[in-house]
Amino acid sequence: MKESWRWYGDLDRITLPEVAQTGASGIVTALHEIPYGEVWERSVIAERNQRIKGAGFDWVMVESLPVHENIKRGEGDLERLYANYRQSMANLAAEGVKTICYNFMPLIDWTRTDLTAPVARGGACLRFDAPRMAAFEIHMLDRKAALDDYPEAVIEQAGAWYKASTEQDRADLLHAIMSGLPGAYDRYDVEGLKTALKTYEGIDRAEIRANFKRFLEAIVPTAEELGMRLCVHPDDPPRDILGLPRVVSSEEDIAWVMDAVEARSNGLTLCAGSLGAGIHNDIPHIAERFSDRIHFAHLRNVRHDPDQSGSFEEADHLGGGTDMVALISVLLGEEARRREEGREDAEIPFRPDHGHDLLSDRERGAHPGYALIGRMKGLAELRGVIAGLSWRAAKA
């Protein structure tokens, strides 16, 4: 498995020479400065690629080439957006970058309510607290339909939290929820988010799926022609958020995506943490079922609150609810099968996802979830599992 590291380019507080000390050999990055829907010019891609190679890495994965909101809503000049996406793909392929991770989450990306939840023995982690999310939706956004989205106990806790909260508490909650948006883009304030949500009014799950299928039909043939791999990232968390339908949240959803356009290039980013946030998901089983279409893996773990309210937080990479040893065993088995077939994509890139803030991480101020020391710890743990399983397989 190819050890990789997510790097935000000039927006990152972590430098490539520092990443080199983690032992990772692949870089996962994107041109976050380019507005959604615009073409990634080959010259800009080449400059980024040369910079990565000059530091001793391979650019193994684009994360992400964003899907414009109009594509998700199915409105506007879709043919221009599809054409721009295809041209960006061609420009990436011309520079030897042939795998793209993307998502189809409406409006916002991963969602957390706390960026610095305390960890038992020190440090901090990302957390999704269902009562606080409910408080945000019901009381701050005044989205009354959210009353149907949460259990009564969570709604009561949400009301109590909001009543006791200060203006700063509410500002911190908004900041945390908006922090999942990538790159340098402006975050919404409450009124701005209300306005943005209105653009999705009347769009249900079936329509999002139809728009997703239209996108795949427009893009996957080009990926096939270019020898590229597309790998959809699951929803995080795997549930509807803010009343927005999410359609990559379960094994059934992934099967629908894979079947929407039957091609190996229409693949999956196996994100153990995103899928693991749903107690209904069996991650090693999902990996086994879709192993032939996994082009990238995000390896992390989450711990669910025992009250089953839907709250969870980032655990140690080898802790939490997902059997990481079993999952990695599936991925190594798939690599072995691909090598027997002589496939050029036999090695599956992975990255340690969402590390804890440990030691001096907090002082650095890196992107939430993307601390240096916390991710390096996770990478070391995952490396040990891979080494152990590989040794056992070699001895068998």
List the chain domain ranges.
2-108+201-395, 114-198
Q: What distances in angstroms separate CA 28 from CA 59, 192, 224, 290, 374, one per listed residue?
A: 6, 31, 22, 22, 17
- Tens digit of pLDDT for each residue in 133-188? 999 999 999 999 999 999 999 999 999 999 999 999 999 999 999 987 755 456 78
Q: What is the pLDDT of residue 180?
A: 78
Q: What is the pLDDT of residue 183?
A: 52
The four Cα atoms 327, 240, 214, 334 give a dihedral, to 10 degrees, of 0
pLDDT band at 197 (very low <50, low <70, confident <90, very high): very high
Active-site residue set: 233, 271, 298, 353-354, 370
Q: What is the pLDDT of residue 257?
A: 98
- Report the C-alpha gap between 90 and 96 in whole angstroms: 10
- Report the C-alpha gap between 307 and 110 in whole angstroms: 22
- Report the C-alpha gap between 392 and 96 in whole angstroms: 34
Q: What is the pLDDT of residue 65?
A: 95
Q: Is the pLDDT of residue 331 over 80?
A: yes
Mean pLDDT of 244-255: 97
Query: Are the C-beta atoms of 29 and 99 separated by less than 8 Å?
Result: no
CATH code assigned to 2-108+201-395: 3.20.20.150
